[in-house]
Amino acid sequence: MKYFDIAVLGGGSAAEWIWSRLPGKSVAVVEVNRVGGECPFVSCVPSKALLRSAQVRSLVKEAHDLGAYSCPITLDDPREAYATAVLRRDRIADQRNDGENVERLVESGTFLYRGRGRLRGPGRLVVEQSSGVTEEISYGELVLATGSSPVIPQISGLDLVQTWTSDEALSSMELPSSLVVLGGGAVGCELAQMYATFGAHVTIVEAEEHLLPREDSTVGDILAETLQRSGINARTGNRLTKVEPHGSGTLLTLDTGEHLQTDRVLLAVGRRPNLDNIGLETLGVILEDNMLKVDAQGRVSGVDHLWAAGDVTGIAPFTHTANYQGRIVSANLRGEVRRADYRAIPRCVYTDPPVAAVGLTPGEAHSLGLEIREASMPLYDTARAATDGTHIGMVKLIEDVRRGILVGAAIIGPGADEMIAEAALAIRAELPISLLADLVHAFPTYGEAYEPPLQRLEVLSK
Residue 55 within any structural domain of the chain: no
Does 454 lie in the same domain as 434? yes
Helix (H, G, I), strand (E, B) or coil at 158: helix
Tens of pLDDT, residue by residue over 160-192, are 999 999 999 999 999 999 999 999 999 999 999
Does 111 lie in the same domain as 8? yes
**Rounded CA gap, 210 and 231, in Å?**
17
The boundaries of the domain holding residue 354 are 347-460
pLDDT for 59 equals: 94
Does 412 lie in the same domain as 395? yes
pLDDT for 354 equals: 98
- DSSP type of residue 73: P
pLDDT for 132 equals: 87
Does 433 lie in the same domain as 352? yes
Domain boundary among 226, 241, 269: 269
pLDDT for 61 equals: 92
Does 19 lie in the same domain as 113? yes
Does 410 lie in the same domain as 265? no
**Total number of domains in the chain:** 3
Contact between 151 and 269 under an 8 Å Cβ cutoff? The reply is yes
Contact between 234 and 224 under an 8 Å Cβ cutoff? The reply is yes
Strand boundaries in 47-146, DSSP class E:
111-121, 124-129, 134-144
pLDDT for 460 equals: 87
Does 440 lie in the same domain as 404? yes
pLDDT for 320 equals: 97
pLDDT for 240 equals: 95
**Rounded CA gap, 122 and 39, in Å?**
31
Low-confidence residues of the chain, pLDDT below 50? none
**Rounded CA gap, 423 and 47, in Å?**
26
In what order do the strands lie in the sheet containing 240-246?
A: 240-246, 249-254, 259-262
pLDDT for 126 equals: 97
pLDDT for 88 equals: 97
Q: What is the CATH number of the domain that holds 170?
A: 3.50.50.60
Does 363 lie in the same domain as 237? no
Angle at 43 between CA 106 and CA 94, to 5 degrees: 50
Tens of pLDDT, residue by residue over 303-334, are 999 999 999 999 999 999 999 999 999 999 99
Helix (H, G, I), strand (E, B) or coil at 167: helix
